[in-house]
Copies of this chain bind each other. A is one copy, B any other.
Amino acid sequence: MNIYKGRVVTLNLEEIPLPNGNVAKLEVARHVPASSIVPMTDDEKQILLIRQFRPVIGQWAWEIPAGLIDPGEDPLTCAQRELEEETGWMTEKVEPVAAIHTSIGFTDEVIHIFKGVGLKQTQKKQEATEVIVEKFCTRDEVLRMIANREITDSKTLIGLFYVLLMPATGN
């Protein structure tokens, strides 16, 4: 049963059959997929993070650039577009890192994560409701922020962990 159909979220009460023969009755938030990117300088010594005010939690958060995928847009193009719009920097060298389920118990939202290397400055196009400051950080600074629990956003932590701590896996 559909409760609400919105721009970003569609809320349903769903009855879904399970492998054990039972039926799960769940509140499900069907969500538009999103895309994000870990932007790095050419030498991969610095990461471009953003500090963004997030009205839903009423707090500033450290994040990697990200946003919703437009209808028909591919995840990689979306990541590049959001990077440029939010920070005024762009990159052409982009490779996939991972795709994550943000909260598997109540939403089907997937966030694609990319790594971008080699940044060129262009023009910011922030929306009126985006409150964003960008900052270049060294690898050590980012690892210290993670160790100090200053970063709490899931896509950001996972993107940084893969890129900084699992380089042997193709990132």
Contact = CB atoms under 8 A, between A and B. Distances in A.
Interface of A: 3-4, 6-9, 11, 13-14, 16-20, 22-29, 31, 34, 53-58, 61, 63, 66, 98-109, 111, 128-129, 131, 146-147, 149, 152-155, 157-158, 161, 165-166, 168-169
Nearest to A98: B149
Chain copies in the assembly?
A: 2
Contact of A29 (B9, B66, B100, B108): B9
A158 to B, nearest CB: 5
A3 B11 CA distance: 10
A98 B57 contact: no
B3 A104 contact: no
Given A56-B108, A101-B152, 15 more contacts: A9-B29, A17-B55, A18-B129, A20-B128, A28-B56, A56-B104, A56-B106, A57-B108, A63-B104, A100-B157, A102-B154, A103-B109, A103-B154, A146-B169, A157-B158
A54 B7 CA distance: 25
Contacts of A102: 102-103, 154
A73 B56 CA distance: 24
28 contacts: A3-B4, A9-B27, A9-B29, A9-B106, A16-B56, A16-B58, A24-B129, A29-B29, A54-B105, A56-B106, A57-B101, A98-B149, A99-B149, A99-B152, A100-B153, A101-B153, A101-B154, A103-B103, A103-B109, A103-B111, A103-B155, A107-B107, A146-B169, A147-B168, A147-B169, A154-B154, A154-B155, A158-B161
A38 to B, nearest CB: 14
